[in-house]
Amino acid sequence: MQVKIFESTDMAAGLKLVKDSLGPDALILSTRTIRNGKLGILGKPTLEITAAVDSSWPEINPPNPAPVSIFKQPSKRLLSQWSDHSAGLPKKPSRTEQALTYDSLFRLHQEPEEQQSPHRPPSLTREMPGERSNELDELKEMVKKLGQEMSRLGTVQHQGSLPAQSPPSAPPAVNLAEEHNNKKHLITMLMAQGISELSAKEIHAAINELLPTEDQGTDLPSRTVVLKEVISDLLQVASPNFTATKTQRRLALVGPTGVGKTTTLAKIAAFYLSNFSSSMALITIDTYRIAAVEQLKVYGSIMNLPVEVVISPEQLEQALLRHYDKDLILIDTAGRSPRDTLCIEELAGFLRADLGIDKHLVLSATTRREELFEAIRRFGGLGLDNIIITKTDECATLGVMLDIQMLDKDNKIPFSYITNGQRVPEDLMIASKEIVTELIMTPTGNNS
């Protein structure tokens, strides 16, 4: 038995390669679609055909063929075997059970439909050399009846695999019902992770451009890889690079009340202290919340950092001048209601653009989706540079993080940090596309 693997762009070209290499008696063992691009799934699809031929069979068109009939003396036992085989046919023979050879497949793709006879063994329907005997005529008649019976039983399966009235080499028609089910399943899965229906549909549309429809419901590993790639491409992250410049960096945390701004500021300070230097100062303009100043002073005392309290924009400018020699200034602000326009305008007076302060909007992952969007819109007037997501450990799903980025696709506000607990500084993560994607796609209950 000689087995070979052929690669081609479509079935018709592949079958021609099989015939040219192994002859018309070759058996098609299997076919599959492979991709050789990025991660094995993004490249141009290639059809792989595995075919075989018995090495003991005669060569194709041998010179001076001997006029010898292989059915010279058929026995009664042979005729009985053909009759028994016809009576015991399965109700719906599979493609492999029908043992299609190259010639039969080639006719399915190249000849008009009324001339196709895919279930008739081609080796028995060719004109045999030599004189025809009566026994051979009878045997061929039995084979003809057998082929008709197999064709009748396999009509439904044949029609399902090769669409009727299709032009030669045309791809199979898309199964609309299967495509609908795949789309519905994917959207349902994404919505179960907290992603909105609108964002889920956009992700599905992006996946359709990268992964053929027929692979979306069956090839789970490939679908998962492509899904994560699509989500990752939709995200924007930009954590502060403290080594990129030698000038002083100034970071201010703003946002609604109760989202954890002061604790997050302490985590960033501890992170910078342990990884860079102690050239840092803490400033707070949160004089509204009881014990807010004392809380920040406790953190400053533990880390041996200076803490400044200011109550006006002029005092903030003076504090910045006093600490001109510091590499990093972290500014804590009072929580503001997104609906309190006057308070947000007052905050804008502190954080003027000419002061070079990076403004990070702090949002809690436990906040309802509509309120998150409202906070982004209202605080957006300050000129936000980044978003920090806190309390991710308190949520079962984090799909809303993707919706935050999809709120304004043309002007996405990148994530800078993510916090997942109260410990300082352990529960602070520098945002990256990989981390955010994993948080979004982690199954319910495993986001701890």
The percentage of the chain sitting over the pLDDT mark of 70, rounded to a whole number, equals: 65
Name the domain count of the chain.
3
Total count of residues recorded for the chain: 448
Q: What's the alpha-carbon Rg for the chain, to the nearest Å?
A: 36
Amino acid at 428: L
Let me know whether 280 and 225 are in one domain.
Answer: no
74 in any annotated domain? yes
Burial of 330 (0-12, 13-18, 19+ CB in 10 A): buried
Let me know whether 186 and 261 are in one domain.
Answer: no
Closest CA to 363 of 332, 391, 338, 389: 389
Tell me the per-residue pLDDT of 65-92, one tens digit each, with 9 for 90 and over.
554 444 445 455 545 554 554 455 444 4
Amino acid at 418: I
Q: Give the contacts of 274 (CB within 8 A, at least 6 positions apart).
A: 425
219 in any annotated domain? yes
Closest CA to 328 of 387, 252, 416: 252
- Across 96-113, average pLDDT: 44
Closest CA to 413 of 342, 348, 362: 362
Can you give the pLDDT at residue 98?
43
Q: How far apart are CA 352 and CA 323, in angstroms?
A: 18
Confidence of residue 218 (pLDDT cuts 50, 70, 90): very low
Let me know whether 228 and 320 are in one domain.
Answer: no
Is the separation of the CB atoms in 268 and 428 below 8 Å? yes
Let me know whether 145 and 204 are in one domain.
Answer: no
Let me know whether 313 and 345 are in one domain.
Answer: yes
398 in any annotated domain? yes
Let me know whether 145 and 206 are in one domain.
Answer: no
259 in any annotated domain? yes
Can you give the pLDDT at residue 174?
44
The answer to whether residue 43 scores a pLDDT higher than 90 is no
Last residue of a domain, one of 129, 161, 193: 161
- Across 415-434, average pLDDT: 91
Q: Give the contacts of 83 (CB within 8 A, at least 6 positions apart).
A: 142
Q: How far apart are CA 235 and CA 404, in angstroms?
A: 10
Domain that holds residue 45: 2-161
Closest CA to 116 of 146, 87, 61, 159: 159
Let me know whether 216 and 290 are in one domain.
Answer: no
170 in any annotated domain? no
Let me know whether 190 and 333 are in one domain.
Answer: no
Let me know whether 195 and 317 are in one domain.
Answer: no
Last residue of a domain, one of 161, 189, 215: 161
Let me know whether 131 and 7 are in one domain.
Answer: yes
448 in any annotated domain? no
- Across 110-116, average pLDDT: 45
Beta partners for 248? none
Q: Is pTM beyond 0.75 here?
A: no
Q: How far apart are CA 85 and CA 146, in angstroms?
A: 9
The CATH number of whichever domain residue 334 belongs to comes to 3.40.50.300
Let me know whether 72 and 102 are in one domain.
Answer: yes
Tell me the per-residue pLDDT of 141-157, one tens digit each, with 9 for 90 and over.
777 776 776 666 655 44
Let me know whether 385 and 427 are in one domain.
Answer: yes
